[in-house]
Amino acid sequence: MLPKIFFGYFAIAMVVLSLLIITRRNPVHSVLWMLVLFFHIAGLYLLLNAEFLAAVQVILYAGAILVLFLFVIMMLNLKEEISGERFEGAWPLGVSVSAIIFVLMLLTTGDFVHGPVGKYTIEVIKSETHAKALGKLLYTEYLFPFEIASLILLIAIVGAIVLAKRRS
Amino acid sequence: MVPLSWYIGLSTVIFMIGVVGFLIRRNIIVMLMSIELMLNSVNISLVAFSHYLQDLRGQILVFFIITVAASETAIGLAILVALYKNKEAVHTNEITEMKG
For chain A, positions 53-112, list CB contacts with chain B under 8 A. 53, 56-57, 60-61, 64-65, 68-69, 72-73, 75-76, 78, 81-82, 84-88, 91, 94-95, 97-99, 101-102, 105-106, 109-110, 112
**A136/B1: higher pLDDT:** A136
For chain A, positions 114-143, list CB contacts with chain B under 8 A. 114-115, 117-121, 125, 133-134, 137-138, 142
pLDDT of residue A38: 94
Q: How confident is the model at residue B71 (pLDDT cuts 50, 70, 90)?
A: very high
What's the pLDDT tens digit per position in A3-39?
899 999 999 999 999 999 999 888 899 999 999 999 9
Q: How many domains does chain B have?
A: 1
Indicate whether A71 belongs to any domain: yes
Indicate whether A131 belongs to any domain: no
Spatial CA neighbour of B4 closest among A117, A18, A15: A117
Residue range of the domain that includes A31: 1-84
Residue range of the domain that includes B40: 4-87
What's the pLDDT tens digit per position in B2-54?
888 899 999 999 999 999 999 998 888 999 999 999 999 999 999 999 999 98
Indicate whether A120 belongs to any domain: no
CA distances in angstroms from A147 to A36, A131, A151, B50, B68, listed in the order given: 32, 19, 6, 23, 13
Indicate whether A99 belongs to any domain: no
Whole-angstrom distance, CA of residue B85 vs CA of residue B77: 12
Say which residues have a Cβ less than 8 Å from residue A161's Cβ, sequence separation at least 6: B78
Indicate whether B40 belongs to any domain: yes
Statement: residue B68 has pLDDT above 70: yes
pLDDT of residue A87: 80
Indicate whether A94 belongs to any domain: no
pLDDT of residue A90: 82
Indicate whether A4 belongs to any domain: yes
Beta strands in A17-167 (DSSP E): none
| CATH number for the domain that contains residue B48 | 1.10.287.3510
What's the predicted TM-score (pTM) here?
Answer: 0.91
The segments of chain A whose pLDDT lies below 70 read 80-82, 167-168
Q: Does the structure's ipTM exceed the value 0.85?
A: yes
For chain A, positions 144-163, list CB contacts with chain B under 8 A. 145, 149, 152-153, 155-157, 159-161, 163
- Give me the amino acid identity at B55: D
Indicate whether A117 belongs to any domain: no
Whole-angstrom distance, CA of residue B13 vs CA of residue A103: 10
